[in-house]
Amino acid sequence: MRVKYDAEADVLIFIMKEMPPSNAISEPGGIIVSYDDNSEPVSIEFLNASKRQLFNPIETSLQVLT
């Protein structure tokens, strides 16, 4: 899995599979889940990540809590 932050769009993206999605569903709260042809998740995008305090763009590391 890769984690990417787009500062211009303020989007935090968790990429589970390196393949283009075939479908995406917008979930409540500014979350977009993209799926492959087998309905398996490809990526999860969190919109307005820094405003929602999911990510601080000033920091150079990201801590993922499980």
Taking phi first (over 0 means left), then psi (-120 to 50 degrees means alpha), and beta for anything else, what does residue 55 get?
A: beta
Residue 39 lies in a domain: yes
Q: List all residues 6 or more positions away from 54 whose beta carbon is below 8 Å from its beta carbon.
A: 12, 46
Domain that holds residue 31: 2-47
- What's the pLDDT score for residue 52? 77
Residue 52 lies in a domain: no
Residue 55 lies in a domain: no
- What's the pLDDT score for residue 64? 59
Residue 59 lies in a domain: no
Q: Is 33 exposed, middle or buried (0-12, 13-18, 19+ CB in 10 A)?
A: middle
Q: Per the structure, how many domains does the chain have? A: 1
pLDDT digits (tens, 9 = 90+) for 4-62: 888 899 899 999 999 999 999 999 989 999 999 999 999 999 999 888 777 666 665 65
